[in-house]
Amino acid sequence: MKRIIVISLILLMLPVFAVIGQQKEVNLYGSAEVRTIEYLAQQYEKETGVRVNWIRLSSGETLAKLRAESANPQGDVWWGGTTDPHSIAALEGLTEDYEPSIYDEIDPRFRDPLGNGSVIGVYVGALGFSVNKKLLDKMGLPVPKGWEDLLDPRYKGLIGVANINTSGTALTTLATQIFRLGEDEGMEYMKKLHANISNYTKSGSAPGILAGRGEIAIAIIFLHDSIYHAEQGYPVIPVAPVEGTGFEIGAVNLIAGAPNPEEAKKFIDWVISAKTQEGLGSVGSYQIPTNINAKVPDVAIPIDEVNTVDYDFNWVAENGTRIMDRWTREVFVLPR
């Protein structure tokens, strides 16, 4: 009798487990701030019922993870972070081309950074400085206006930037100097800048927090991150370099061999929608949306108001790994 009861209970439970096992899901690798990725995951689950399994990694870490998992992909979508690591991944076949159903709603200037449909632009932001003016005033030092000012020996130990081997922000910094000055001259600039660097962080936005706390005075980060930090009460101001600066087109990509490709495509369609892009402002993501129907956050700095360099995303896709290795060999090893 007991055996019959046990078997009956197992049979009753089977449909329940079957339903649970069939719950739709998407595996998300996010390379933006945790608060932003959490917002996307929660909103998508709320609106669609699809479970979002997510992890937060810097752009460089995500690229390394995709390389390590290439024989057995675990992720479905890579969202956020600069185009450069995304484009390297596309070039290596780690992501797949996908044209979203609302592709025409994306600003033509930013929807396809490489011009071949391999990377989808989701937001735009200019690179610059987040400056703790209060600290500089206390030290009797001026606010730097441009890249060349950062080489002033008076700023030694007062500047922070991320490590190029882990951060897309840092790769944008290196590429910016190359596009400003030429490759060899740009690398020489990075050597001189290295002498003034306090420390290299893993995450691109982390130096901004250090500047806000007064541990350093100048952070090389994206301007929208500086705006958010100021909003949180830190005594920082955003500065766009006068000589011209690089910019990011934040990207989203379908991971090659994704275990849930159809759910991944639906998520990509959703994440580039005007409603979703506008919603990011509610959690302090002040980048410029790429959807032409999305409202730009009031506090955001329009990319058209920033002096930008002629940033060649294709060149970085083809040369990014090489110049990262060169920076590591020629710059990172130098004493400070």
Compute how many other C-beta atoms are within 10 angstroms of the C-beta atom of residue 298.
7
- How would residue 10 be classed by pLDDT, with cut points 50, 70 and 90? very low
How high is the pLDDT of residue 292? 98
Q: What is the DSSP string of 245-270?
A: B-EEEEEEEEETT-SSHHHHHHHHHH
Give tens-digit pLDDT for 186-226.
999 999 999 999 999 999 999 999 999 999 999 999 999 99
- What fold, for 125-247+317-332? D-Maltodextrin-Binding Protein; domain 2 (3.40.190)
In the structure encoding, which two tokens stand for residue 251, read together? Answer: 């990207």
- Cα–Cα distances (Å) from 250 to 31, 63, 84, 85, in that order, read 9, 14, 9, 10
Q: Which two tokens stand for residue 157?
A: 């130990």
Q: What is the mean pLDDT of residues 239-267?
A: 98
Residue 7 has pLDDT above 50, yes or no: no
- Does the pLDDT at position 22 exceed 90? no
pLDDT of residue 24: 96
Instruction: Say what percent of the chain tops pLDDT 70.
Output: 94
Please give the pLDDT value at position 169: 96
Q: Domain extents for the chain?
A: 24-124+248-303, 125-247+317-332
pLDDT digits (tens, 9 = 90+) for 272-324: 999 999 999 999 999 999 999 999 999 999 999 999 999 999 999 999 999 99
Q: Which residues lie closer than 8 Å to 253 by C-beta, 6 or more apart?
A: 77, 78, 86, 89, 90, 95, 96, 98, 118, 119, 120
d(CA 130, CA 196): 16
Residue 66 · residue 31 · CB < 8 Å: no
Task: Provide the pLDDT for residue 21.
Answer: 55
Phi-psi region of 309 (alpha: psi -120 to 50; beta: other; left: phi over 0): beta
For 237, the enclosing helix (H) or strand (E) is: strand 236-239
**pLDDT score of 13 more than 90:** no
Mean pLDDT value across the chain: 94
In angstroms, what CA-CA distances link 218 with 53, 113, 141, 214, 303?
35, 29, 11, 9, 21
What angle do the packed helices 168-181 and 183-194 form, to 10 degrees? 120
Asked if 24-124+248-303 and 125-247+317-332 have one fold, the answer is yes
CB 247 within 8 A of CB 110: no
The pLDDT of residue 248: 96
pLDDT, tens only, 64-108: 999 999 999 999 999 999 999 999 999 999 999 999 999 999 999
Residue 172 near residue 124, CB atoms below 8 Å: no
Q: What is the mean pLDDT of residues 46-75?
A: 97
Helix, strand, coil percentages (3-state) for the chain, rounded to 5, are: 45, 20, 35
- Which option is the CATH number for 24-124+248-303: 3.40.190.10, 3.40.50.920, 3.40.390.10, 3.20.20.140? 3.40.190.10
- Quickly tell me which residue has 């490709």 as its tokens: 261
Separation between Cα atoms, residue 302 and residue 72, nearest integer Å: 41
Q: Is the pLDDT of residue 20 over 80?
A: no
What pLDDT, on a 0 to 100 scale, did the predictor assign at position 6? 41
Confidence of residue 17 (pLDDT cuts 50, 70, 90): very low
What pLDDT, on a 0 to 100 scale, did the predictor assign at position 15?
Answer: 42
Per-residue confidence band for 180, with pLDDT thresholds at 50, 70 and 90: very high
| DSSP assignment of 124-186 | EEEEEEEEEHHHHHHHT-PPP-STGGGG-GGGTT-EEEE-TTT-HHHHHHHHHHHHHH-HHHH
